[in-house]
Structure 1
Amino acid sequence: MKVFLTGGRGMVGRAIREHAGARGHQIVAPTSDELDLTDRPAVMAALAAERPDLVIHAAGRVGGIQANIAHPAAFLTENMDMGLNVVMGARAAGVTQLLNLGSSCMYPHDAPNPLAEESLGHGALEPTNEGYGLAKLAVARLCSFVAREQPELVYRTLIPCNLYGLHDKFDPKVSHLLPAIIRKIHEANTRGDDTVEIWGDGTARREFMFAADLADAVWYMAARIGTLPDCLNIGPGHDHSINDYYAEAARVIGWEGTFTHDLSRPAGMRRKLMSVERQKALGWAPATSLADGIAQTYAHFLDRVERGEA
């Protein structure tokens, strides 16, 4: 197939391109310098010119809790613009297959865990990342509307849990939880610090998946896109506490200090575990354990530190 991939230079996009499933396909992955996804005429022209068999929309403005709290308007508008432009551009170009990557932030703040796809759109979102969640929910809805109006257009949304992995962002101003933990503990270990601070009491629970496993799911589901529901959760189906993630990263890195907790800091939702019943029915599950994923990510981080890029 000819595949038009957005976000091809990001963590998820690079994992998709580097996966064995990409072999044999022609991957068109313009950089942000080559194509501004917030520019609708440019996006529509690019898709009309390329006329791909499949669009994978993996681009987005992403960041951790600090970035989302600081810039909610940007997270809403930029992700909304990118998603709407890609979907409508694909529709106008007659692209028959599209996989849109959503986020577990699309789920209501008070939805029961595990989060089932039927809960989408039925409640207020988590305030700390509401802008991002609203944008992702709107784009997923648009995919459903397009497919409803034109059944020959198979536009589906995959909703991954929290991700980490190679090519992640480790800057604490923009990073998600696990890369931020890795960097924090690495620096504590390097300095010889005895303690590391955790925001909140550390009992909030999160579900994380190695980005290479999401790439595996993308190619697996792309081959079965006609059998997919409108929205499909992708994840391991089990979670860990924030304290557990810190402890596992400390074990991998070799830091033997103790943790303290700042109870004045925001910790987000108490739990965010997704239901993977639909995913299981399609015969897919992630293969990378938490320990192996953290070890691979830390090795990648050390390589970037050595090159002066972290």
Structure 2
Amino acid sequence: MTTDLNQKVYVAGHRGMVGSAIVRNLQEKGYANIVTRAHKELDLTNQAAVQSFFEQEKPDQVYLAAAKVGGIHANNSYPAEFIYDNLMVQNNVIHQAFLSGVKKLLFLGSSCIYPRLAPQPMSEDALLTGELEPTNEPYAIAKIAGIKMCESYNRQYGKSHGVDYRSVMPTNLYGPGDNYHPENSHVIPALIRRFHEAKMVNAPEVVIWGTGMPKREFLYVDDMAAASVFVMELDKAAYDAQTQPMQSHLNVGFGSDVTIAELASAIAAAVNYQGKISFDPSKPDGTPRKWMDSGRLNNLGWNPSIDLDQGLVLAYTAFCNSNN
């Protein structure tokens, strides 16, 4: 399939970790007409503002990477914001994209869409087969709605309007542009910050929430960006061959997972923290395991290129070079 590098591509959420990585990837590939808007320029929860933007810019493609995201603490503390903001952003961007004639759109979801006790590794077929993890259910519900919205527009307008809206579900992501807030961040950036600060003051011990036994899969964000552009550029027949009309999303994972205890040791090594690592089992663990089955995407020809140890060194370097 020949890709038109001059088509206008709108990346929603370009200042976020994933969105900025997608912009980097598109630029490296030679895309010459990338459109972005900062939040202060365009509030994606504002329907009228989003309508005006699409009517003015008329993009050819949309990468919907904008979302309100956070770790266990943030999801537990702000459930209303997590479901409202994400639903509003998705509804406005997807619907206005359709109204303005956008044929190709990529929606980025999350591995938390799958049931808390889904068989491991989690395949796309596990969606809506069981109860969600309570700590992030509002966020997961919003992401599931985004997938189903894309599927619904494809079903209703695919043949008549040429609509081809796709969805990718990344595993846990990390890397440059991450949120390192001490309470509202995900596990890797939170631990990078904590180990770094402990190293700076020669703290003898770092205590981590939970038992350390849950297992998680992690993907470097530039690999996720590469997968996103890969999926967007796929011929429709190839994409459809690996998906289903009522289950059209694709998992994007690394292919293996580690325990939180193993992750902590790897981060301590990347940061060069020499103290003791211990765990606080009185704090919540979250989902016991989240490991994605990325076989369908692998069958299409995509595989990750950056392993965890390499990625953690890159992520720590980015943290040190930031203003965190």
TM-score greater than 0.5 by the shorter chain: yes
Contact (CA 8 Å) 2:217, 2:290: kept in 1 or not?
yes
Aligned-residue offset at 1:22: 4.8
CA-atom RMSD in angstroms = 1.1
Aligned-residue offset at 1:122: 2.0
Contact (CA 8 Å) 1:40, 1:85: kept in 2 or not?
yes
Q: For residues 128 and 47 of structure 2, what CA distance do their matches in structure 1 show?
A: 26
Aligned-residue offset at 1:145: 0.5
**Amino acid of the residue matched to residue 215 of structure 1?**
A
Q: Say which of 76, 81, 86 aligns to 2:88.
A: 81
Q: For residues 29 and 57 of structure 2, what CA distance do their matches in structure 1 show?
A: 18
Provide the residue aligned with 2:198 in structure 1. 188
Q: Say which of 229, 234, 243 aligns to 1:224.
A: 234
Write the mapping of 1:144-183 to structure 2, written as runs, cut at 5 A. Answer: 144-151=151-158, 152-183=162-193
Determine helix, strand or coil for the equivalent of 1:169: coil
Q: Say which of 271, 288, 305 aligns to 2:289.
A: 271
Q: For residues 265 and 292 of structure 1, what CA distance do their matches in structure 2 show?
A: 29
Contact (CA 8 Å) 2:115, 2:133: kept in 1 or not?
yes
Alignment CA distance shift 1:31-1:78 (3 Å): same
Aligned-residue offset at 1:24: 2.6
Q: Say which of 246, 249, 254 aligns to 1:236.
A: 254
**Amino acid of the residue matched to residue 92 of structure 2?**
N
**Amino acid of the residue matched to residue 228 of structure 2?**
V
Alignment CA distance shift 1:22-1:38 (3 Å): farther
Provide the residue aligned with 2:3 in structure 1. none
Aligned-residue offset at 1:149: 0.7
Instruction: Give the stretch that moved more between structures: 16-25 or 47-56.
Output: 16-25
Alignment CA distance shift 1:222-1:249 (3 Å): same
Provide the residue aligned with 2:57 in structure 1. 50
Q: Say which of 198, 221, 234 aligns to 1:211.
A: 221
Q: For residues 97 and 167 of structure 1, what CA distance do their matches in structure 2 show?
A: 26
Q: For residues 80 and 46 of structure 1, what CA distance do their matches in structure 2 show?
A: 19
1:68 aligns with 2:78: no
- With normalisation by structure 1, the TM-score equals 0.96
Contact (CA 8 Å) 1:6, 1:56: kept in 2 or not?
yes
State the Cα deviation string for residues 26-85 of structure 1 (Å, max 9, x = none): 111111111110011211221122221111000011111110000011100100110111
Contact (CA 8 Å) 1:21, 1:219: kept in 2 or not?
no
Instruction: Give the stretch that moved more between structures: 252-261 or 276-285.
Output: 252-261
Contact (CA 8 Å) 1:16, 1:22: kept in 2 or not?
no
Determine helix, strand or coil for the equivalent of 1:150: helix
Provide the residue aligned with 1:35 in structure 2. 42
Write the mapping of 1:81-120 to structure 2, written as runs, cut at 5 A. Answer: 81-120=88-127
**Amino acid of the residue matched to residue 206 of structure 2?**
V
**Amino acid of the residue matched to residue 259 of structure 2?**
S
Provide the residue aligned with 1:15 in structure 2. 21
- With normalisation by structure 2, the TM-score equals 0.92
Aligned-residue offset at 1:259: 1.4
Q: For residues 29 and 107 of structure 2, what CA distance do their matches in structure 1 show?
A: 17
Q: For residues 172 and 37 of structure 1, what CA distance do their matches in structure 2 show?
A: 26
1:287 aligns with 2:293: no
Contact (CA 8 Å) 1:199, 1:267: kept in 2 or not?
yes
Alignment CA distance shift 1:132-1:125 (3 Å): same
Aligned-residue offset at 1:110: 1.8
Aligned-residue offset at 1:220: 1.2
Q: Which structure 1 segments of 5+ residues have no match?
A: none
Q: For residues 217 and 181 of structure 1, what CA distance do their matches in structure 2 show?
A: 26
State the Cα deviation string for residues 121-170 of structure 1 (Å, max 9, x = none): 22221101111111011011000010011112000101000100001111
Equivalenced residue count is 306
Aligned-residue offset at 1:225: 5.3
Q: For residues 28 and 143 of structure 2, what CA distance do their matches in structure 1 show?
A: 25
Q: For residues 71 and 29 of structure 2, what CA distance do their matches in structure 1 show?
A: 29
